[in-house]
Each structure stands twice: as C-alpha cells, then as structure tokens.
Amino acid sequence: MKRLLALIQGLDLLLIPGVIFALYMAFQYAPRESTMGDVQRIFYFHVPFALGSFMAFGVVMVASVGYLMKRELSWDRAAHAAVEVGFLYTTLVLLTGPVWAKAAWGVWWTWDARLTSTLMLWLIFASYLFLRTYMADDPRLPRFASVLGILGALNVPVVYYSALWFNVHHPKPTVLRSGGLDPNMAVSFRVSMLVITLLMVSLFVKRWLLGRLEAERMLLEARIEDQEDR
C-alpha cells in the first residue's frame, strides 16, 4: 500500500502543472472556432469528461462481474470507487453540456437520444449510490450493487452510439477519427484527455484505498467487540 500511495502522490504532483498546461492549451493554444467562437472551448473538457466516465463505468462492469464470479469484496470496493468517479464525471458532462448547447442550439436542453440516454446513465448510477446508502448493513448489498452496476454499464454503448443510431442535435462522434479536428485543436484535446484521464485514475485509486481502510477499520472494531464480549 505504501508504494501505491507514493505512486499516487507522485501522480498528484504531475497533475498540478498538468491541469494548468491543459487550461493553457484549451484557452490559448487551440484556435478560436469559426462558427461557435470561444464557447466551443468547453469541448476540451466536456468530451474528455464524457469519455472518462465511460472508462470508469467500464471498470464498474469488470469489477461487478468479478464480484459475482468470485464473491470477493475487493471487487465490490473497486466497483464502488469507479461508480463514484464515473458519477462525478457524468455530472460534469451534464453541467458543461447545456452551456455549450445554449450557444450552439439556442436552448439549454433538448430531449434527443444522446442527452436523454446520458441523463438515464446518471440516474442509474445515482440509484446505485442510494442503494449503497440504504442497504449499507445488508449482506446482500454487494450482489445487488453488482447487478445494478452491470445494467448501468450496458447503457454506455447506447449513449455513445445514440448520435449515430438516431436523428439528434448532438454532433456525431468524429473526434477520434483521422482529420476530424484542426491539428492544434487535436493536440489540445489530447492533452486535456490525458490530464482528465490521469485525474480519474488518481481519484479512483484514492477512493479504492479509502474503501479498503474502511473495511479494515470495521474488521478491527468487530474484533474489539468480540474480545470485549468474552
């Protein structure tokens, strides 16, 4: 655990200048978009947060399946940590998206397939967090949470491909395609994506370690109570 903590502390030291550099790339290095103007710069945060949430929920899928197969609580703790990070990132997507939508479409929100499926993803994992709160003392919690985590993660492809499957206001996913962006915009996007991904990793590991410490504390408390009863 000491090595992991040292690694995360080193990552945090890199993230401080990394965030500053990403802000510089987004607001200074990247050219001004000709149609939407400066509001388009939200793109350098909105899209990486969305892709980061997808990665986090991918971890939820793997960890939830791992728990159902092996019934080891370490998998459940990993899923819980990934849900909290993914939920945070999806919240940031839903906060930055309407600002961009207002400038691009003239409305804060429209119930197209991409936005609606993203909101559904957020609601599913909000339910996951409520479930963990209200069933905290129930031994069935990890099993129920794993099933809900898998169902939520299965919504990620729907969110991503909804812009291709349906007629939506939201732009189609062209970012990862060759030639989809101006070269300077592409570089700025990659920097932001890297920094936001590293931030996600740092938050995930910290939350996972916190869950492990909480489990160890509960185990120690149980042992103390057992000794006192004797």
Question: Cα–Cα distance between 5 and 9 in angstroms, integer?
Answer: 6
129 found inside a domain = yes
> How far from chain centre, in Å, is Cα 122?
10
Q: 126 and 87 in contact (C-beta within 8 Å)?
A: yes
Q: Express each pLDDT in 103-112 by its tens digit.
A: 877 888 888 8
Q: 141 and 71 in contact (C-beta within 8 Å)?
A: no
55 found inside a domain = yes
103 found inside a domain = yes
Using alpha carbons, select from 144, 168, 164, 192 the residue that is nearest to residue 27: 192
176 found inside a domain = yes
Is the pLDDT assigned to residue 168 strictly greater than 70? no
Q: Which domain holds residue 221?
A: 2-31+41-229
125 found inside a domain = yes
Q: What's the confidence (pLDDT) of residue 175?
A: 56
Is the pLDDT assigned to residue 120 strictly greater than 60? yes
Residue whose token pair is 């990890």: 142
36 found inside a domain = no
The tokens for 123 are 């609601």
In the three-class reduction of DSSP (H, G, I as helix; E, B as strand; rest coil), residue 167 is classed as coil
Q: Express each pLDDT in 42-98 by its tens digit.
A: 999 999 999 999 999 999 999 999 999 999 999 999 999 999 999 999 999 999 998
Domain count of the fold of the chain: 1
133 found inside a domain = yes
Q: What is the mean pLDDT of residues 165-171?
A: 69
Question: Cα–Cα distance between 132 and 146 in angstroms, integer?
Answer: 11
Question: Cα–Cα distance between 222 and 197 in angstroms, integer?
Answer: 38
In the three-class reduction of DSSP (H, G, I as helix; E, B as strand; rest coil), residue 30 is classed as coil
Question: Cα–Cα distance between 128 and 145 in angstroms, integer?
Answer: 6
Question: Cα–Cα distance between 26 and 22 in angstroms, integer?
Answer: 6
Question: Cα–Cα distance between 82 and 59 in angstroms, integer?
Answer: 6
Decide: pTM greater than 0.85: yes
Is the pLDDT assigned to residue 147 strictly greater than 90? yes
64 found inside a domain = yes
Helix 73-105 / helix 183-229 crossing angle, nearest 10 deg = 140
